[in-house]
Amino acid sequence: MARPDKAAAVAELTDKFRSSNAAVLTEYRGLTVAQLKTLRRSLGENAQYAVVKNTLTKIAANEAGITLDDQLFAGPTAVAFVTGDPVESAKGLRDFAKDNPNLVIKGGVLDGKALSADEIKKLADLESREVLLSKLAGAMKGKQSQAASVFQALPSKLVRTVDALRAKQDEQGGAE
């Protein structure tokens, strides 16, 4: 029979998995408390980094409908639960891991889909959501101004063509 404290921990982890856009599992062996504090700050405001028990985390992930590879639960595990932009948190983890090789990104989940460590690193290489949206807006604005130029050019081209036809008819009429 499950102890009440373990059942509560599983329920809390299950809720975190369900309410998060992404979760990244890491191994933190060898990191000091000060380094973990720095890591938590580097993840951004929309992420929580928690040291977890492997068995309870695996049960919570299954209850949340997430299937993760058993290899992710080997060794000491901590999970970054991301409620905001997963790219920002992935960048924070990647950059921290470059400076602190004791942090190992094991894998994770993004919108219910399991990700490998390499896929998380690729996610970190993406630009943030805000940058991508601003680029999209700029591209759309550029296309709108191109369309406006085309629509503006059509009537003036028509007027020039009509004037050229009229001039040609006047020449032909005067030549006769």
pLDDT digits (tens, 9 = 90+) for 65-76: 888 888 888 888
Q: Residue 7: its pLDDT value, please?
A: 87
Q: Residue 81: its pLDDT value, please?
A: 92
Angle between helices 54-63 and 4-19 (to 10 degrees): 50
Q: Residue 159: its pLDDT value, please?
A: 76
Of the options 3.40.710.10, 1.10.40.30, 3.30.70.1730, 3.40.50.720, the CATH number for the domain spanning 1-125: 3.30.70.1730
pTM of this structure: 0.67
Task: Tell me: pLDDT of 148 over 50.
Answer: yes
CB distance 46 to 93 below 8 Å: no
Query: How confident is residue 1, by pLDDT bands cut at 50, 70 and 90?
Result: very low
CA torsion 47→53→58→64, rounded to 10°? -40
- Which amino acid would we find at residue 25? L
Task: Tell me: pLDDT of 2 over 70.
Answer: no
- Which DSSP helix (H) or strand (E) runs through 50? strand 47-52
Task: Tell me: pLDDT of 55 over 80.
Answer: yes
Structure tokens at 14: 């299950």
- Which amino acid would we find at residue 68? L
Cα 154 from Cα 151, distance rounded (Å):
5
Cα 109 from Cα 81, distance rounded (Å):
10
